[in-house]
Each structure stands twice: as structure tokens, then as C-alpha cells.
Structure 1
């Protein structure tokens, strides 16, 4: 039996979804997403996630050293904690070396903090989905715009439930072999998820938090960094001349300023209260005006080189 969206009900051939993240396998966002997926009784759920936080590691992979995978008890799912990066976890999870089947869909998240604009480049969450895309497996990265003092852990469950129609619709298209394989999706859920304004198809913008460095007395001082690259600016630092007291100079990142552009970009739409859906690919091509400039520039350089050789 199928529901009105075409999803097979319990007892039919259930699609397999693999969940990963960059906040670690114990993160509340991942656990909430898995609970919601399992509770529907529509999916086989695998979990292959880092054994500790790996925020802002981008698409780094473990190359020279082996990694370990430890079974973890998560109700309704087959789960492993992996001593690698998010990209490692996805690569291992889809390889059939760990699980008995290749997942139909990889979901990376739910991340604690939004992933918009240029921060997508830093994001381990997005990398978890991108790695699946590299291997021709449909993928989605999910992030919740967590704001300290306003957000609650229960908001992760609300975010998962709000994205469930998108996940279900993707799996229907995959089953029907009509889902496009030339992109993957990056979804951000607004802080006030209870009153979100619906889904909006957006594009990756150029928003970024400009970071600086401050010399500090201890590497343990400073705020917690999220994959949005935002930092707790209320943290205090004690500065002193370390060069006379220590062999090593210690530095911590700090927020200097933010850059946000106007328009129908992911960040702006997210701040307006929409669940944003951005299509991403593997490459980041330069803008057309830059391409035009360098088409004229390179022949001039070549001509100058030829002239100097005479």
C-alpha cells in the first residue's frame, strides 16, 4: 500500500537512509533526526557518524591511517561511531564494507548552526552529503539555525519533522528513477521552526563571518565554534606578552565582522523564516565576468612572455 505521496507503507520495500553528521554521533541533532526517521516506520536507517565533534573540517579525509568503527546502540537503527571525518563516514557507510547494502539516500545532519553562503565551504555537514554525491548517491545536508538563549533541544525534532516531507518526496523520486543526480541539496531550517514560512528554493550566497586572531594565555580559553564559523563573542581573553614566558605563542580565532548580501540567497531567506533549499554541485565555477576578464588577460600574458623571450 502506498500513501498519497507514493511512499510504501510498512511491510513494503522500505528505502534505506544513512545518517551522518559533523557534530558527532551523540549530537542531539543527529539523534532527533534518527528518532523521527525511525518513528515513521517507512525507512531502514543506518547511522555512520564521527565518534567526536568534527565541525568545520570541510571535506578533509583520512588518507594514511586506518580508522575504526564501533557499534553504537541507537533504537531502530544500525549505527557505528567512526574515528574519522564526516567525508570518511559517508565513504565508509556507502562502501558495503560496513553495512549490508548501499543506502538509497544519505542525510548529513541535523547540524547545530546554519550552513549558508561561504560557510558551506567550511562545513563538515555539507561535506558528508557531498561525498555521497561524488559517488552518485542522492544526498541532503540538514542544518538548524541554532541561536543560544532562544533555541531548545526539542527544536531539532521539530526541524526533522519539518523536513520529513522533503525527504519522503526525494525517496519517491529515487524509487521512480526520476531524481536528478547532477546536484545535492543543502537545507537550512530557521530558528523559529514552529512558525516557519514554508519551503523556498534559494541559491548559495556570499555571506561570511570575517575572522581574526587574538593572542591569548591559554589554548583552553575562548568560545565554542560552530560550523557556521560563529563564535561566542562574550568569552573573555587575558592578553599578555607570551613571547617572554612561553616557548609557543597561543592564538584563538575571534569574530571581527559579518558580510551579508541582500537578495533571494540562502542566508537572507533563512532569516526571513523560510526553510531554504539550495542546490549544490561538486565544483565552484567562477562568475562570468571573471571568466571574461581572464579570457582577455591570458593572451596578453602569453604575448608578453613571447616578446621577452626574443
Structure 2
């Protein structure tokens, strides 16, 4: 069977790829190339038409989104004007493609997505949206390091994760794959010498950021399209006082440090050289001590403030 010039095999599982770096990003192109070259999957692509990094799980609500066919060898691909969550939602809806994919993969992101940064990540949101709708999904990121990484590392990262992708699809076919979570995968910078797969938990690692007043939007430079920003990120652009009206103040984020957890947490294990496999859910539960505190606190609030308001 042929669709949009791509041969579709009925006995192969269908994988749909999305991302937040945009449909032309090298991470997505490398992942699609490896999936197509393996000759094991039907490959669909439904990804943003431009960079949508750090948009989290935002969706387009009031306006229509556009989808334009894009030529990607071996795949049926569309560039969409919406967010990563929009792309996944559209791609699995049967409005754009004739069938629902067996697996959605969001990535490969340029930079890691661990710890608290998972909340900001458009890449993770692309996978989470599929999970919301009962479609198995994976988000994938590569821990890009400026000066050490190169574009070919995305190919190596995709190849390193191919066994996981294949194994997931086997379990899906057997109907034994869990439906109560989705996976977030991070590949270390030195992918050639990675130490294997490690099951990890989402930690509380975070890049601490502040704000600095600037005189132009260019001052301070553009950070990597990832939530794993480099600690030494800075640039020396000449300020342009005409970039904003005189009654506007301009501020830019700047990195001021980081907090990293150790043990079996995702970011620590990634820095140790492992490909981290972190099951995620959709709900954000409070720690047990927080629940206990508010269980005692809430009845007193209701009693005290309802009486004092009379």
C-alpha cells in the first residue's frame, strides 16, 4: 500500500515522531533516518513548523492550526503551526493520518530533559499528550554539550535507543505494555561510551535562573533550545537601545547555578554516563508530609475564618 509516495506495510508497527525543536531539527531528522533505515516501522512525522522549545504542555485553543506536507525520505510528514502537544493530538486523531500510530516518539531533543525541567519541556509534553489519549509514548533527549557534541551524535543516540523502541513495540503487540505511564529517555553526551540503560526516577534537579536588565533583545545571546542550559552561557552582543520603546524595560533570564540530586535520580545517572529510562505519569502528587500537614491545617482554617467573617 502506498500513501503520499511512501510504501506502508500492514504488518509493521507504525511510529509517529514529533518534537519541540521543529521539523527541520537535526535530532528529529536523525531519529527518522534511523527508524526508516531499520526497515522495521512505518514512520509518520507530525512536528512543529518552527522551534517550540520550553512551551511545556501549551495547546492552541482559539485558532486553527495549519499542516503542510514536508518531504522526508521514507516517511509521511507534516509540519504543523502549533505546539508539540498540538502536533501529537492532531497526529493521533485520525484527522491527518488514516490510523492511530502504535507508538509516539517525541525527540530527539537538543539537550537533556531531567528533574524539574521536565515540567518546562515541550519534548516531554509531546509524549505526555499521547499518554493522555491512551497511546504509548516516549520522549527522547540527547545531552548536547557545546564544543563536544556534533550533529552525528543524534544518529548515535537514535541507534542506541533502537533496542528500547523495538522492545516497547513487541510488548505493545503482545498487549502487555503498561498503560499507566510513559517513558522519558535521556542519552549522555558521550553516547559512544555510554554505560547502558538505567531505570531512574524523576529527580528535583534544576537550573537556577535569575533576571538581568538589558538594553536590547540581542544582549545576552540566545541559549540552547533545551532546558539543560550551559552554566557558562553568555555572549557579548552590542546593545541596541532602539530595540524597545523608551518606556519599556527589557529583562533576560540568566543562569545562576544548579541543584543536582544523586542516587538513582535521572540527571545524576545521566551525568554518570547512563542512558536513563524514567517512567512518568500525568499527575503531580505532593510529598506525604505535605498531605499530612494540610490534613491537619484545613479544618482549622474553615472553622476560624468562617466564624471571623461573620
**TM-score interval for Structure 1 and Structure 2 normalised by the shorter chain:** over 0.9
1:91 alignment partner in structure 2: 89
Please give the alpha-carbon distance, in whole angstroms, between the structure 1 residues aligned to 2:22 and 2:138: 17
Shift of residue 298, structure 1, vs aligned partner? 0.6
Uncovered stretches (5+) of structure 2, i.e. residues with no partner:
1-7
How far apart are 1:234 and its partner, in Å?
A: 2.6
Aligned to 1:6: none
The answer to whether the 8 A contact 2:9-2:42 is kept is: no
1:250 — aligned with what? 250
Q: Which secondary structure does the structure 2 equivalent of 1:73 belong to?
A: strand
1:233-272 equivalent positions in 2, closer than 5 A: 233-236=233-236, 246-272=246-272
Tell me if the contact between 2:216 and 2:241 (Cα under 8 Å) persists in the aligned partners. no
Contact 1:211 1:257 in 2 (8 A): yes
Q: Counterpart in 2 of 1:294?
A: 294
How many Å separate the matches in 1 of 2:9 and 2:135?
25
C-alpha displacement of 1:246: 1.4
| Residue in 1 that maps onto 2:5 | none
User: The residue matched to 1:65 in structure 2 has which SS?
Assistant: coil
d(CA) in 1 for partners of 2:262 and 2:300? Answer: 36
Q: Given the two structures, how large is their TM-score scaled by the length of structure 1? A: 0.92
| Secondary structure at the counterpart of residue 143 of structure 1 | strand
Residues 218 and 239 in structure 2, CA contact (< 8 A), matched pair in contact too? no
Is the Cα contact below 8 Å between 1:215 and 1:239 reproduced in 2? no
**In the alignment, what sits opposite 1:117?**
115
Q: Normalization by structure 2: what TM-score?
A: 0.92
**3-state secondary structure, aligned to 1:121:** helix
Report the RMSD for the aligned CA atoms in angstroms.
Answer: 2.0
Q: Tell me which residue corresponds to 1:191.
A: 189
Inter-partner Cα distance in structure 1 for 2:100 and 2:135? 9
Q: Describe how 1:200-219 pairs up with structure 2 within 5 A.
A: 200-219=198-217
2:264 match: secondary structure:
coil
Aligned residues: 300
Q: Secondary structure at the match of 1:92?
A: helix
Matches within 5 A, 1:218-237: 218-221=216-219, 222-230=221-229, 233-236=233-236
2:21 touches 2:51 (CA, 8 Å); kept in 1?
yes
Q: How does 1:1-310 map to 2 (within 5 A)?
A: 13-221=11-219, 222-230=221-229, 233-236=233-236, 246-308=246-308
User: Following TM superposition, by how much is the alpha carbon of 1:220 offset from its aligned partner in structure 2, in angstroms?
Assistant: 2.3
Task: Say if 1:50 and 1:11 are closer, same or farther in 2 by CA, change over 3 A.
Answer: closer
Instruction: Give the superposition deviation at 1:252.
Output: 1.0
Partner-residue secondary structure (3-state), 2:69:
strand
Q: 1:240, CA displacement in angstroms?
A: 10
Q: Work out the CA distance in 2 between the residues paired with 1:179 and 1:139.
A: 11
Structure 1 residue 308: Cα displacement? 2.4
The question of whether the paired residues in 2 share the 8 Å contact of 1:124 and 1:227 is answered with: no
The 3 A distance-change label for structure 1 pair 40 and 239 is closer
Per-residue deviation, 1:238: 6.3
Secondary structure of 2:139's match?
strand
Kept in 1: contact 2:194–2:273 (CA 8 A): yes
Unmatched 5+ residue regions in structure 1? 1-9
Given the superposition, is the C-alpha separation of residues 188 and 96 from structure 1 closer, same or farther in structure 2, using an over 3 Å criterion? Answer: same
Deviation at 1:198, TM superposition (A): 0.4
3-state SS of 1:187 partner: strand
Kindly indicate whether the alpha-carbon contact (under 8 Å) linking 1:50 and 1:81 is maintained by their aligned counterparts in 2. yes
* Structure 1 match to 2:3: none
